[in-house]
Chains A and B, each alone.
Chain A
Amino acid sequence: MLRAIYLVLGLAVVGSGALGEYRGWFLSRPAQLQNVPKSIRDNPGAWRSLYANSPRTFGGK
Chain B
Amino acid sequence: MVGETTGLNCRTCGAAIDLRGLTHTRTVVCSSCGTIQDPHDPTVRILQEAWARMRITPTIPIGTRGTVDGHRYDVIGFQYRTIEVEGETYGWNEYVLFNPYYGFKYLSEYDGHWNLVTPLQALPEMAPGRTSAARYAGKRFRHFQSADAATAYVLGEFPWRVRAGDVVHTADYVAPPEMLSAERTEEETTWSHGRYVDGRDIWTMFKMPGSAPRARGIFADQPSPWAGRTGRFWRGFTVLALVLLVVMGLRFATASRKPIFAGAYSFRPGTGEPSFVTEPFAVEGSRPTTVEVAFDTNLSNNWTYFNVALVSMDSGSALDFGKEVSYYFGRDSDGNWTEGSRRGAVRIPSVDPGSYYLRVEPETDARSRTAVNYQLTVREDVPTWWPYLVILGLLAVPPVLVTMRAASFETKRWQESDHAG
Contact A10 B317 (CB under 8 A): no
The docked-state distance in angstroms from the alpha carbon of A43 to that of B86 is: 88
The docked-state distance in angstroms from the alpha carbon of A49 to that of B248 is: 36
Contact A49 B251 (CB under 8 A): no
- For the complex formed, measure the closest distance between the CB of A42 and the CB atoms of chain B, giving whole angstroms: 9
Contact B348 A27 (CB under 8 A): yes
Assuming the contacts A7-B239, A24-B349, A29-B350, asked whether A44 and B384 have C-beta atoms less than 8 A apart, the reply is no
- For the complex formed, measure the closest distance between the CB of B59 and the CB atoms of chain A, giving whole angstroms: 33
The docked-state distance in angstroms from the alpha carbon of A33 to that of B316 is: 9
Which of B303-327 touch A at CB < 8 Å? 303, 305, 307-311, 316-322, 324, 326
- For the complex formed, measure the closest distance between the CB of B376 and the CB atoms of chain A, giving whole angstroms: 14
Which of A5-61 touch B at CB < 8 Å? 6-7, 10-11, 13-14, 17-18, 20-36, 38, 40-41, 44-45, 47-52, 56, 58-61
B347 at interface by CB-CB < 8 Å = yes
Contact A17 B233 (CB under 8 A): no
- For the complex formed, measure the closest distance between the CB of A32 and the CB atoms of chain B, giving whole angstroms: 6
- For the complex formed, measure the closest distance between the CB of A21 and the CB atoms of chain B, giving whole angstroms: 4
Assuming the contacts A31-B319, A44-B359, A52-B361, asked whether A26 and B390 have C-beta atoms less than 8 A apart, the reply is yes
| Stretch from B130-138, B143-151, B199-207, B272-280 at the A interface | B272-280
Assuming the contacts A23-B349, A40-B277, A58-B326, asked whether A10 and B240 have C-beta atoms less than 8 A apart, the reply is yes
Contact A60 B329 (CB under 8 A): yes
**Tally of chain B residues near chain A (CB < 8 A):** 64
A-B contact count (CB 8 A): 159
**Tally of chain A residues near chain B (CB < 8 A):** 43
Q: Choose among B318, B346, B361, B387 the residue that contacts A20 (Cβ–Cβ < 8 A).
A: B387
Contact A18 B248 (CB under 8 A): yes
Contact B305 A33 (CB under 8 A): no
- For the complex formed, measure the closest distance between the CB of B281 and the CB atoms of chain A, giving whole angstroms: 14
- What residues on B are CB-neighbors of A26 within 8 Å? 349, 384, 386-387, 390
Assuming the contacts A33-B320, A49-B307, A58-B326, asked whether A14 and B243 have C-beta atoms less than 8 A apart, the reply is yes
Which of B369-389 touch A at CB < 8 Å? 383-384, 386-388
B357 at interface by CB-CB < 8 Å = yes
B217 at interface by CB-CB < 8 Å = no
- What residues on A are CB-neighbors of B229 within 8 Å? 2-3
- For the complex formed, measure the closest distance between the CB of A28 and the CB atoms of chain B, giving whole angstroms: 8
Q: B232-275 interface mask toward A, CB cutoff 8 Å, 1 = contact, 0 = none?
A: 11001101100110011001000000000000000000000101
The docked-state distance in angstroms from the alpha carbon of A11 to that of B241 is: 10
Contact A58 B324 (CB under 8 A): yes
Q: Choose among A27, A30, A34, A45 the residue that contacts B273 (Cβ–Cβ < 8 A).
A: A45
The 8 closest A-B pairs by CB, nearest first: A24-B349, A60-B328, A49-B307, A58-B303, A30-B321, A17-B391, A27-B349, A10-B240
Contacts A24-B384, A31-B320 known; 16 new A-B pairs at CB < 8 A: A3-B229, A7-B239, A10-B395, A14-B243, A18-B244, A18-B391, A23-B288, A26-B384, A28-B349, A29-B350, A30-B320, A30-B321, A33-B319, A33-B320, A36-B316, A48-B361
15 contacts between A and B (CB under 8 A): A3-B229, A10-B236, A10-B395, A14-B244, A18-B391, A21-B251, A21-B387, A23-B349, A24-B384, A26-B384, A35-B317, A44-B276, A44-B361, A49-B308, A61-B339
Chain B residues in the interface with A (C-beta under 8 A): 229, 232-233, 236-237, 239-240, 243-244, 247-248, 251, 273, 275-277, 288-290, 301, 303, 305, 307-311, 316-322, 324, 326, 328-330, 332, 337, 339-340, 346-350, 357, 359, 361, 363, 365, 383-384, 386-388, 390-391, 394-395, 398-399
Chain A residues in the interface with B (C-beta under 8 A): 2-3, 6-7, 10-11, 13-14, 17-18, 20-36, 38, 40-41, 44-45, 47-52, 56, 58-61
